[in-house]
Structure 1
Amino acid sequence: MTTNEEISYRIKALREEKGLEQSDIAELMGYKSQSTISKWEGAKNLPNGRKLVQLAQILGTSTDYILYGVDKPAVSDIQSIYDELNDMNKKKVVDLALALRDKQNRKPIQMTTVFITGFVSAGNGVMQDDYVDAEITIPSNEVPDEFDSVVKVIGESMAPKIKDGDLLFIKHTPQVENNDIAIFQVNGENYVKRFKSNGTPYLKSLNPDYDNVYLSENDDIRTIGEVVDIYRER
């Protein structure tokens, strides 16, 4: 247990380390004479509350060191200042503290590299020879568990669900169900569209400013795969 004598000793030792006289401390703290400082160093009386915080600041230490002799975060200093704030500013302090805590405890984002193997059109079609073999690093939580390839979108015919520049994760399959969004190759051109099989099959554009792609028995049609996920850079 810390005694008054130990606290008084630390106050005197810190003052002398700073090269200050008792009168210097008294003047800095607004006292007319050094008698109060002398009482503190003689263990006849001790500073408390705001005076203790002020003394710690002048001596370049914390209230915890003065009271307990240990270098701990000056919780008592913070509490004393907090108690002097009005309700609005107290809320600001709490909000800032919570934000700093969340930032401190936030786990680093894990990243995964995926390979872009081609382009698909959300417009008028992209020829198969527009082939790329590039890589991009994206957050791991944006990568689906199962996919076979990644393609990049050109055009806006599937907006707002799919936009120009989006990456599509594809699960390869020779056929898809009605209303599935998938990648199709029609007469050598690659599309991302919604498959509609009611009546005559066609490929639907979600953006009304773009035409649908109507299919006939003379077309060379191949289903490449279903879109299982979409990644859009923020």
Structure 2
Amino acid sequence: MKLADKQLQELKDLTQTATNVDLAKALGISANTIQTWRLRDKIPEKIFLKARRISQNEELPTPQGMVSLTYYDVEASAGHGSLVEVEVATEINFAEVFLRDELGVNPKEVFAMKVKGESMYPTLKDGARVIIKRVDDFAGDGIYVFRVNGQIMIKRLQFQPTKITFVSDNNHFYQPWELTHTEIKNIDFEILGQAVWGGGKL
């Protein structure tokens, strides 16, 4: 039995779930992430710790008035792109009234992640945390997190009838680039969500 299989069995025992799908739901991750762990024969230690807390009913309640957002342990490159694998790292709390009233989003439809690089400066600094609203398609011009040929990036997208222009706010060092709609259909390209908030160190 592979190491990952033994670890997954221990996770199942801890969370008292019978299938990987149930396990994924209990831990707040995707079934695809579990399959990735199997292929890599490795599971993050933090997942074991979370499973133990679940099994022992030690999960700390979310403070009243706050919403716990999934915080993905990936970096959306604000430079030339970085190859990453999506894994859940932890949760981050935001005031529900802020999400609903100030950002105008449903807390169930957003997640958080970190920005790496300077190409979106000054809008988003290196290391900034961003809140991303999940979208299945383009929702008009704006700042989006997307995957292109295995790279996770965050750029300002401008939509035109025949093409999409990818713009960096730090245009002194990063030039815009374009993809036609035909080119997009023939490559690995997916919109992961639209940025609705960003914050970090001053």
What is the letter of the counterpart of residue 191 of structure 1? M
**Contact 2:71 2:112 (8 Å CA) reproduced:** yes
Aligned match of 2:42: none
1:133 match: secondary structure = strand
Matched, 1:222 2:190: yes
2:174 to 210, 220, 229: 210
Identity across matched positions, percent:
28
SS of 1:144's equivalent in the other structure is helix
What is the TM-score when the length of structure 1 is the normalising length? Answer: 0.46
Q: Is the 8 A contact 2:122 2:170 kept in 1?
A: yes
Is 1:119–1:130's contact at 8 Å kept on the other side of the alignment? Answer: no
How many Å apart are 1:221 and its aligned residue? Answer: 1.0
Residue equivalent to 2:117 = 155
| 2: CA distance, partners of 1:156 / 1:141 | 30
**1:194 shift after superposition:** 1.0
How well do the aligned residues superpose, as a CA RMSD in angstroms? 2.7
State the number of aligned residues: 124
Using the TM superposition, name which of 212-221 and 157-166 deviates more.
212-221
The structure with more radius of gyration: 1
Change (3 A) 1:155 1:173: same
Higher relative contact order (CA 8 A, sep 6+): 2
Gaps of 5+ in 2: 1-64, 101-105
Structure 1 alignment gaps of length 5 or more: 1-109
Alpha carbons 2:70, 2:88 under 8 Å: kept: no
Question: In the alignment, is residue 128 of structure 1 matched against residue 128 of structure 2?
Answer: no
Q: What's the offset of the Cα at 1:150? A: 0.4
Matched, 1:193 2:155: yes
Paired position in structure 2 for 1:144: 99
Aligned-partner Cα distance in 2 for 1:222–1:131: 17
- Contact 1:173/1:225 (8 A) holds in 2: yes
The structure that is strand-richer by fraction is 2
